[in-house]
Structure 1
Amino acid sequence: MNRIRQVRRLWETVRHLKPIQIYGRIGYRLRRPRAANAVAVRRRDASGHWAETFAGPPSLVGPTEFLLLNEVRQLDPGGWDDASVPRLWRYNLHYFSDLTAIDNALRADWHQSLLRRWVAENAPGVGTGWEPYPTSLRIVNWIKWALTGHALDADVEASLAIQLDWLTRRLEHHLLGNHLFSNAKALVYGGLYFEGPDADRWLRIGLGILRRELAEQVLPDGGHFERSPMYHALAIEDVLDLINIDQAFADRAGLAAQLRPTAQRMLRWLQSMSHPDGEIGFFNDAAFGIAPSLDALSAYATRLGLTLPRAEAAPLVHLRDSGYLRVSFGDCVALIDVAPVGPDYQPGHAHADTLSFELSVAGRRVFVNSGTSEYGLSPERLRQRGTAAHNTLIVGALNSSDVWSGFRVGRRAHPTGMTLHQEADLVRVACSHDGYQPTLGLIHTRTWTFTPGRLVIQDQLSRSGPTSEARFHLHPDIAAIAPELLPLASGKTMHVSTTGADAMTLAASTWHPRFGQSIPSKVLAVQISGGTATTTFAW
């Protein structure tokens, strides 16, 4: 039976893949192209305007000391590809993100030394640093640094051209999604920064991919198709960066005019999926400190001459294509997930969070989903992706979608039958999902009813089944000692009551607002053995 389950899981995982992912993966593993020794290009004159880009927090805290993913490590001799260091940390090391960080000019001498060292110690085509994704991000950061007025040594600029040529042979068609988009962005950057036949080829390949991927990855409502607010914010930065590089080279690629409306739609989506504190909601893989904030992206867009979209003032905003809702009612803001897990062929950043939600009251977060503190194959990574780490209903010990390994999804929950009802003093949202149907024969339906100072949540199963539990994860600022009475960080008090439930308890949990960070918190758990239970939150 275990083998049958494994085969079924594998089938549910791979049956959605596009053919290019299958033969692309085979080709990627079997084909080992050689990197060129040199590429005959020269730097192009930038005749347009280069705007100041987004500047993140510094990651270089000493000449060879890095703070990445909340972990400080020294770059020892030969340490660019130390197998004892987590792979994600090594990826970030090779990005060179400090080149564009806050006060980067103060560290210019360190940067020059590290650039030379990277070229000397990373043989073309060998090691983590030459994998397509870190190569793509590094190319962009090196070019941004050069366009800001820093001089690339001849050896460094020659390596940059070799990296671009190499990237054309290692495009991530087997992954698609944000990886392939980043590959294309790097090729556009290189194709504009350099000139010559090879540079023209890079630009042509990059633009071809971008135009295809933009049409698919940015949904009509402005949301990114992977349904992660964090990756959505990164995608906005990508689009703004592309506008910037095109304007710097006098609209040579013809991208700026095309991408301006796209950037505005994406900013409007991010406005809707941010809490009153200005930061993103945690749905699917999401954490602070990886992507620029809404304010930072808005400031960048303004520097590029974009008109910022007005924030939606309506009590109910339905992001129909991506599958999220924002309810702004009185002093509360709720973000509600009625979305599919992501694109069927690439749900790698999906969590089993269908029909989860987050809530802020009086400008402060109250209910929060797990967040993301790590990638990889650990049990903790799997736990953070699971249903129990989110504000929704878990039946038995089963996840609503079968998340497994680090980035895999087998059986998927599909939201169905959503209804919306709005009156002057009431907003009601109802939706079902079939994630438990194949295994348990159950449909979960959740209804959120908002009235002034009150949220009522009804969870209903289509028939009796295993014991279920509605989980409501509290922000760490809420020092609750009893499940019925929650002292909110805003100074208000939230009263909690249930009907149809067996018990309501308060248990220890953790929240993961940044990579490498786990903060103790508490979770309110409502145990249900019957088919329906209602939980009321009044403040």
Structure 2
Amino acid sequence: MKKIVRFYHTVRPLKFEQVFYRLIYRLFPFKPKSYSSTQEISANSWPLYTPKVGEQSLFENHEVRFLNKFAVIKTPPDWNDETTHSKLWLYNLHYFDDLNSPDSENRSLLQKHFILKWIDENPAPHGNGWEPYPISLRLVNWIKWCQFNQEYDVEILRSMEQQADALMAQLEFHILGNHLFANAKALVFVGCFLNSSRSADYLTKGLALLEREVSEQFLEDGGHFELSPMYHCILLWDLIDLLNLAVASNNIQINRYRDEWADVIERGLSWLSKMCHPDGDISFFNDAAFGIAPAPHEIFRFARSVGITNQSDSVSSSVMLPESGYSRLVRGPFTLFFDHAEVGPSYLPGHAHADTLSVELSYGRHRVFVNSGTSEYGTGAERQRQRSTAAHNTVFINGENSSDVWAGFRVGQRAHVSEPQYCENEDTVVVRAEHDGFTHLVKGFTHSRTCSVSADRVLIEDEIGARCSKTVMAHFHLHPDIHTEIVDDNSVRLKLSSDEFLLFHADVPIKIENTTWHPEFGKSIPSTRLVLVIPGSYLTCELTLGS
């Protein structure tokens, strides 16, 4: 019965087209077309300059590195070796991000070798490389590489056309979200770049999808609707990439969207600046890690290069982002981020964590409270742990999650948040919110949290709406650079890397446990967390300047 309930709550929010296309693609899998070498094909040449981001991933002697893991790609089976590598690692292998990474101009011959090797060793439709998402990212990377190097090898162009046809035949309507956006972007790029009998179809389809998806995926407050700062960066970069393509190519069809895209980019930049810590990098809510998306400063620089210059790379004021469901509370040296968002979007919660009412905190440029981060995808136990409520800075019933995250990207029953309350005066900023994520386990069990930030203290007050026979706990995960010293049962001194001190005090005893933090995929760093058991209905925690 529990499995049936989970399945019901997982499937019920899906859109009809997601179910329909999943059935269609399963019943009628993609079959490649045959191509004649006599068909005419060429490319439009125009200067397309984009910032070089990321890290080198292709090396001599067939070596590659992705997600902090090296391998050698010598034989055709190596491209799809799922016994040795994760699905995400293999996807990265097929993206070809190295083509547009720093110093890539010095590796053009090596890169062309890998491109031709891919064409030769990855015949359609077999392997990870022929799935629509890797096709989408690879096409854009190859096109940028061709334009930068003025390289228009007919074999490469024919492969692009074949890949574009494969993409058209399996657009990701069964997933939607960032995947369909990537599909649309790739079709616009390839339709603008190639001169072939199919180019107009690619461009028309890509622009039609973007016309639908841009307004769907970017909220009024500027945030991307999957509510992950990392994916926000990815999609914001994609949109700037499209605007840059419009400027470079001066394509009449694409130019119609320049003003609309510029407006969305401006709002997206504003949201990003508000969701970054004072150290300049993203906060970790839902799936988030460094090194996957371009860094915020790279995004701001790219935006300036296409003429969007009225956004600052950082903000110092408090704000509530009502549509995406986050608040930034700033006073004195403290910057606190408060997650009072719904799991969203309801039909695409795959990158959601059970992190409702979690917080992150910085003191100056030092991160203090951090959420788990993300080091892997898949369906393993560690993926489940990193998505769990216990891996975040909030209250939970021991062993249970506020939203039923399961498998790699599934969510069953989910927490719903009441209308948050925001209050600000000259001295203090306060936000309060409540969710019902545990009511299916304990009748009447709600969790409300009030966060108050002033120049000399942070106050976090939790209230539980019903008695519970199970253990109710709160975790506060500390950045690995924070060292702890027990003062008494209810107080812990936190030493920052700057040799400054903060004092954490609670009205219940505090226990310190070892755990891990995951700032990048493939990386796990030892850290500590503060563990508090809530015996009654209230918990009050206070962080003050210490000595």
Report the TM-score range of the alignment, normalised by the length of the smaller protein.
Answer: over 0.9
What residue in structure 2 maps to residue 437 of structure 1?
Answer: 439
What residue in structure 2 maps to residue 368 of structure 1?
Answer: 370
- Structure 1 position 20 matched with structure 2 position 28: no
**Conservation of the 8 A alpha-carbon contact between 1:350 and 1:385:** yes
**Conservation of the 8 A alpha-carbon contact between 2:57 and 2:64:** yes
What residue in structure 2 maps to residue 95 of structure 1?
Answer: 95
CA RMSD of aligned residues (A): 1.4
Distance 1:65 1:356 in 2: 41
What residue in structure 1 maps to residue 108 of structure 2?
Answer: 108
Distance 1:312 1:91 in 2: 33
Q: Which amino acid aligns with 2:383?
A: R
Q: Which amino acid aligns with 1:498?
A: A
What residue in structure 2 maps to residue 45 of structure 1?
Answer: 44
* Alignment size in residue pairs: 533
Classify the secondary structure of the residue corresponding to 1:457: strand
What residue in structure 2 maps to residue 64 of structure 1?
Answer: 62
**Conservation of the 8 A alpha-carbon contact between 2:50 and 2:302:** yes
Distance 2:25 2:79 in 1: 23
Q: Which amino acid aligns with 2:480?
A: P
Q: Which amino acid aligns with 2:541?
A: T
> Which range is displaced more, 277-286 or 150-159?
150-159
- In structure 1, the gaps of 5 or more residues are none
Aligned pair partner of 1:11 in 4, 8, 25 = 8
What residue in structure 2 maps to residue 55 of structure 1?
Answer: 53
Q: Which amino acid aligns with 2:17?
A: I
**Conservation of the 8 A alpha-carbon contact between 1:54 and 1:296:** no
Deviation at 1:341, TM superposition (A): 1.5
Classify the secondary structure of the residue corresponding to 1:439: coil
Classify the secondary structure of the residue corresponding to 2:71: strand
Per-residue CA deviations over 1:265-296 (Å, capped at 9, x if unaligned) read 11111100000111100000000000011110
Deviation at 1:54, TM superposition (A): 4.0
Distance 1:404 1:217 in 2: 24
Distance 1:497 1:76 in 2: 57
What residue in structure 2 maps to residue 243 of structure 1?
Answer: 243
- Structure 1 position 180 matched with structure 2 position 183: no
Deviation at 1:523, TM superposition (A): 0.2
What residue in structure 1 maps to residue 530 of structure 2?
Answer: 524
**Conservation of the 8 A alpha-carbon contact between 1:46 and 1:248:** no
Distance 2:333 2:456 in 1: 8
Deviation at 1:517, TM superposition (A): 0.3
- Structure 1 position 256 matched with structure 2 position 258: yes
Aligned pair partner of 2:503 in 491, 495, 512 = 495
**Conservation of the 8 A alpha-carbon contact between 1:172 and 1:180:** yes
Distance 1:165 1:142 in 2: 16
**Conservation of the 8 A alpha-carbon contact between 2:354 and 2:389:** yes
**Conservation of the 8 A alpha-carbon contact between 1:387 and 1:399:** yes
**Conservation of the 8 A alpha-carbon contact between 2:329 and 2:430:** no
What residue in structure 1 maps to residue 476 of structure 2?
Answer: 472
Distance 2:285 2:88 in 1: 20
- Structure 1 position 459 matched with structure 2 position 462: yes
**Conservation of the 8 A alpha-carbon contact between 1:63 and 1:110:** no
Per-residue CA deviations over 1:382-436 (Å, capped at 9, x if unaligned) read 0000000000001132100000000000011111131112121111111000101
**Conservation of the 8 A alpha-carbon contact between 2:300 and 2:313:** no
Classify the secondary structure of the residue corresponding to 2:536: coil
Deviation at 1:197, TM superposition (A): 3.8
Distance 1:313 1:375 in 2: 32
What residue in structure 2 maps to residue 450 of structure 1?
Answer: 453
**Conservation of the 8 A alpha-carbon contact between 2:44 and 2:192:** no
Deviation at 1:151, TM superposition (A): 0.9
**Conservation of the 8 A alpha-carbon contact between 2:192 and 2:251:** no
**Conservation of the 8 A alpha-carbon contact between 1:190 and 1:199:** yes
Per-residue CA deviations over 1:58-103 (Å, capped at 9, x if unaligned) read 1123342111001111112121111212111110000000000100
Classify the secondary structure of the residue corresponding to 1:472: strand
Per-residue CA deviations over 1:317-341 (Å, capped at 9, x if unaligned) read 1111101111121011111101111
- Structure 1 position 122 matched with structure 2 position 125: no
Per-residue CA deviations over 1:130-173 (Å, capped at 9, x if unaligned) read 00000110000000101112414221111111100111001010
Distance 1:52 1:179 in 2: 22
Distance 1:45 1:315 in 2: 46
Deviation at 1:463, TM superposition (A): 1.5
**Conservation of the 8 A alpha-carbon contact between 1:332 and 1:363:** no
What residue in structure 2 maps to residue 77 of structure 1?
Answer: 75
Per-residue CA deviations over 1:164-208 (Å, capped at 9, x if unaligned) read 011100101000000011011110001100134411001111111
The 1:314–1:277 alpha-carbon spacing in structure 2 relative to 1, beyond 3 Å, is: closer
Q: Which amino acid aligns with 1:521?
A: S
**Conservation of the 8 A alpha-carbon contact between 1:41 and 1:199:** no
**Conservation of the 8 A alpha-carbon contact between 1:337 and 1:355:** yes
Distance 1:196 1:71 in 2: 39
- In structure 2, the gaps of 5 or more residues are none
The 1:312–1:508 alpha-carbon spacing in structure 2 relative to 1, beyond 3 Å, is: closer
> Which range is displaced more, 256-265 or 454-463?
256-265
Distance 1:424 1:490 in 2: 28
Q: Which amino acid aligns with 2:207?
A: L
**Conservation of the 8 A alpha-carbon contact between 2:473 and 2:533:** yes
Give the alignment of 1:145-156 within 5 angstroms.
145-156=145-156
Deviation at 1:23, TM superposition (A): 1.0
What residue in structure 1 maps to residue 361 of structure 2?
Answer: 359
Deviation at 1:480, TM superposition (A): 1.4
Classify the secondary structure of the residue corresponding to 2:164: helix
Classify the secondary structure of the residue corresponding to 1:437: coil
What residue in structure 2 maps to residue 506 of structure 1?
Answer: 512
Distance 2:364 2:309 in 1: 29
TM-score (norm 1): 0.96
Classify the secondary structure of the residue corresponding to 2:141: helix
TM-score (norm 2): 0.95
Per-residue CA deviations over 1:330-366 (Å, capped at 9, x if unaligned) read 0111111011111000000000000001000021100
**Conservation of the 8 A alpha-carbon contact between 2:42 and 2:196:** no
Distance 2:442 2:261 in 1: 46
Distance 1:63 1:263 in 2: 41
